[in-house]
Amino acid sequence: MLLNFIRLVFLIVIAAAIFVSITSDIAEQDEESMITHSDIRVIFVGGIGFAMLVLFLDWVLPKSSLKALAGIFFGLLVGIFFSWALSLVLDMVNDVFKLGLVGNSLQLTKWVMGICICYLVISFVMRTKDDVRFIIPYVEFARQTKGIRPLVLDTSVIIDGRIADVCQSKLFDAPFIVPRFILNELQLIADSADKLKRVRGRRGLDVLHKLQDNGIIEVLIDDTPPTGVDEHAPVDQKLVAFTKGCNGKLVTNDYNLSKVAQVRDVDVVNINDLANALKTVVLPGEPMMVRIIKAGEEAAQGIGYLDDGTMVVVEEGKNKIGEKVQITVTSALQTSAGRMIFGKFEKSLREPNEPDQDNQNRGNNRQNNPRHRKQYS
């Protein structure tokens, strides 16, 4: 609405400037230089037509970032300098070749020439602003926000549910924002024909309701559409654009979405990274106890899991499936997708209520030995 008002004011100012110029020429005209009604019509229609052309270009051009203001300012300064220099050349040419440009006609020619030069310079600078980095060095336009930057929740982190438990620890003070299209996606998943998706969607809605009932943090449902993105674009693309538009931080569990957001200069809070950072740090050479669950991919490897879900790969542990063993940590690998611990088998551990397997085996062998059968008969 405000932009349309500015456009209307622009048309009125252009019309007023043309009207003032024409009336001044009529007042100063003499018998040798008479301005006819045809000339007035041409000047007026030409000026209004030029203004309409500028408005059309403004309407056709796509939305641009505030960073382009530096390029426009620099182009305007260069355009004004060249316009001033060429106006001196125009005065000299007019005097030498007797072009007959006097008074307001000469001034109007200078104005039109200056406007055209400024437009060409600004257009050139805007098209080459990525190559010409020295436009205004050390100056960058950035959006300023008051208070803490908001946290924008992704579908994956809502369905995961751990964000609700983290909020109980009072770790986050910033408000949580759930865009309307994320809420629509949760509802779409909850209404899915697939039972697994339906359960996940309903869990996400329950977690979101739990966050809203939490008095520690503030949860807002934002209906603002993301700028510069089509309505039918993928949800991840709209989410990154929305987070960048509100100068917030994206909270997600999606590894690929985190990488795309980082490419777009959007700050990301990955819950998996947060969980990995809070896990117990293990160093090579430390002893550790783990129960072997299954065989590994490599020969003689066994796989176990800690209480927090960390996978442990045990060398020489393939024959110890089902047993609790002591290992020595050799290395650890930690990524955004999770953490893996590699260790070497040391010895088996017997549970407190578990019978001694070696004694039981010796007893069975003694019973099966013919030399000792008489005492059991």
Indicate the residue type of 11. Answer: L
Handedness of CA 297, 298, 304, 306 (dihedral sign): negative
CB-based contacts of 216: which residues, under 8 Å, 6+ apart?
167, 168, 170
Q: Is residue 372's pLDDT more than 60? A: no
Q: Is residue 261's pLDDT more than 80? A: yes
Query: Which residues partner with 305 through β-bridges?
Result: 311
Indicate the residue type of 274. Answer: L
Q: Helix axis angle, 68-97 relative to 103-127, nearest 10°?
A: 140
Of 17 and 329, which is predicted with more confidence? 329
Mean pLDDT confidence for 108-135: 70
Indicate the residue type of 197. Answer: K
Indicate the residue type of 301. Answer: Q
pLDDT at 250: 92
pLDDT at 301: 87
**Phi, psi for residue 30 in degrees, rounded to 5:** -125, -170
Q: Tokens 């520690």 — which residue?
A: 216
CB 208 within 8 A of CB 178: yes
Q: Where is average pLDDT lowest: 166-180, 225-239, 267-281? A: 267-281
Of 210 and 348, which is predicted with more confidence? 210
Q: Where is average pLDDT lowest: 78-87, 198-207, 239-248? A: 78-87
Q: Where is average pLDDT lowest: 1-15, 275-289, 311-325? A: 1-15
Torsion of CA 130, 245, 4, 74, to 10 degrees: -30
Mean pLDDT confidence for 347-374: 52
pLDDT at 202: 92
Looking at every residue in the chain, the average pLDDT score rounds to: 76
Distances (CA, A) of 27 to 31, 34, 38, 90, 103: 12, 11, 17, 25, 12
pLDDT at 296: 86
pLDDT at 152: 92
- In the chain, where the domains are located: 2-127, 151-277, 281-349
Say if residue 67 is exposed, middle or buried (CB neighbours under 10 Å; 0-12, 13-18, 19+). exposed
pLDDT at 36: 62
Mean pLDDT confidence for 263-269: 88
CA separation for the pair 169, 162 (Å, rounded) = 11
Handedness of CA 117, 120, 126, 128 (dihedral sign): negative
In the chain, % of residues over pLDDT 90 = 8
Cross-sheet strand order for the sheet of 176-179: 219-222, 176-179, 151-153, 249-252, 268-270
Q: Tokens 């205004």 — which residue?
A: 136
Pairing of β 287-295 and β 324-335: antiparallel
* Token pair in block for residue 207: 């977690």
Q: Where is average pLDDT lowest: 82-86, 138-142, 189-193? A: 138-142
Third-level CATH fold of 151-277:
Rossmann fold (3.40.50)
Q: Is residue 240's pLDDT more than 80? A: yes
CB 314 within 8 A of CB 327: yes
pLDDT at 373: 43
Question: Residue 376 — very low, low, confident or very high, per pLDDT cuts 50/70/90?
Answer: very low
Domain 281-349 coded CATH 2.40.50.140: yes
pLDDT, tens digit, for every residue of 137-181? Answer: 444 444 444 457 889 999 999 998 888 888 888 888 888 999 999
CB 261 within 8 A of CB 268: yes
* Token pair in block for residue 64: 């641009």
CA separation for the pair 156, 133 (Å, rounded) = 39
Mean pLDDT confidence for 210-215: 85
